[in-house]
Chain A
Amino acid sequence: MTARPHVLYAGLHLLDRQLVDADGMLAGKVDDLELEPDGTETDGTGPPPPLIVRSICFGHGALWRRLGSGRLGSWLEQRHDHPRERIAHLPLSRVDRIGPSIVVTARHEDLATYDTEQWVRDHVTAHIKGSTHATE
Chain B
Amino acid sequence: MRRSTLWSVVVPVVFVITGGCVTNPVGPVTTVDGYREKAAASIDVALGSVETVRLVGEAELEDKTFTSFTRQVVDDALGPMRTAEDTFETIAPPDDEARALQREVLDALVLSRRALVVMATALEEGDPNAIARAVAAIRPHADALRTLREKLGSRSP
Q: Which residues of A contact B (CB under 8 A)?
A: 68-69
Query: Which residues of A are found within 8 Å of B1, using beta-carbon distances?
Result: 68
Docked pose: A68 CA to B3 CA in angstroms: 8
Give the number of A-B contacts (CB < 8 Å).
4
Chain B residues touching A, range: under 10
Question: Interface of chain B, helix or strand or loop or mixed?
Answer: loop
A contact patch SS: loop
Task: Report the separation of the CA atoms of residues A68 and B5 in the bound assembly, to the nearest whole angstrom.
Answer: 12
Question: Closest CB-CB distance, A67 to chain B, in whole Å?
Answer: 9
- Chain B residues lying within 8 Å of A69, measured Cβ to Cβ, are 3
B2 within 8 A of A: yes
How near does chain B come to A100, taking the closest CB pair, in angstroms? 27
Looking at the assembled complex, report how far the CB atom of A75 sits from the nearest CB atom of chain B, in whole angstroms.
16
In chain B, positions 1-21 with a C-beta closer than 8 Å to chain A are: 1-3
From 88 to 140 in chain B, residues with beta carbon under 8 angstroms from any chain A beta carbon are none
Question: Nearest chain B CB to A84's CB is how many angstroms away?
Answer: 33
Residues of A within 8 A of B3 (CB): 68-69
Bound together, the chains give a CA A68 to CA B2 distance in angstroms of 7
- Docked Cα-Cα span, A124 to B150, in Å, equals 62
CB distance from A85 to the nearest CB of B (A): 28
How far, in Å, is A123 (CB) from chain B's closest CB? 29
